[in-house]
Chain A
């Protein structure tokens, strides 16, 4: 990886991780959504510096959609029914997961290779999505369809309650 790609990777990684921490800690849904959008820009930058331009574009659209959904004006808070101790255990588990994954990455032995797949690779990814792994694409399409149906049903039930 040459220097511009390395600088892009490091800057994007710093942006993604910093914004992700703000998503966890900031009060207010607008600020959190903005931080989520910035985290998406960072993740897309990381993907782009890894020569995955098409994935970067999709990630950016996905994070922007999530940010818009979380910043909706009819936002309704719903408190977890589980106790605070369980949530703190979950947060500690996240820290342990990071330590384990970081240790595994540090101790792993990886080969150094040349990459010649191009910057975007849309043709190769498109062939995979639409020809080789069509079943996986259709499974995700079914998930999206279920999500849209659930959203529509809930929206209709809310309209009836009004």
Chain B
């Protein structure tokens, strides 16, 4: 069985969808934050897959040429995007957890006088 860009995009789409599902399904906002790394991870898989199967390589080798092609894969922009996305996911989860904890404390202090 061969793996091509379609397989990679299927997995990436499924990861994004499951992440969105996790974010929408959870009533607790702090637990819903777990959907962020899943969605961002899916996006990172798509970027890494595009970098791996980039058609730029085909464009580089298709015209007949006497030049020696040293590297036909091009710069790994998709891998770079995957790295940045992963770091951004961790930062967003950290910020979201802090904000959710603050909101939970405010909610608790507002409910205390009404009891």
Which residues of A are at the interface with B, using a C-beta cutoff of 8 A?
1, 5-6, 9-10, 13, 16-17, 20-21, 23-25, 29, 32, 36, 39-40, 43, 46-47, 49-52, 54-55, 58-59, 61-63, 65-66, 69-70, 72, 74-80, 87-88, 90-91, 93-95, 97-98, 101-102, 104-106, 108, 110-117, 121, 124-125, 127-129, 132-133, 136-137, 140, 143-144, 146-148, 150-151, 154-155, 157-158, 161
Contacts and interface: CB of A to CB of B under 8 A. Distances in A.
13 contacts: A16-B11, A20-B15, A49-B3, A50-B45, A50-B52, A70-B30, A77-B31, A78-B107, A117-B71, A124-B75, A125-B76, A136-B84, A154-B98
A80 B32 contact: yes
Given A6-B1, A58-B86, A101-B13, A80 B29 contact: yes
**SS of A interface (majority):** helix
Nearest to A108: B6
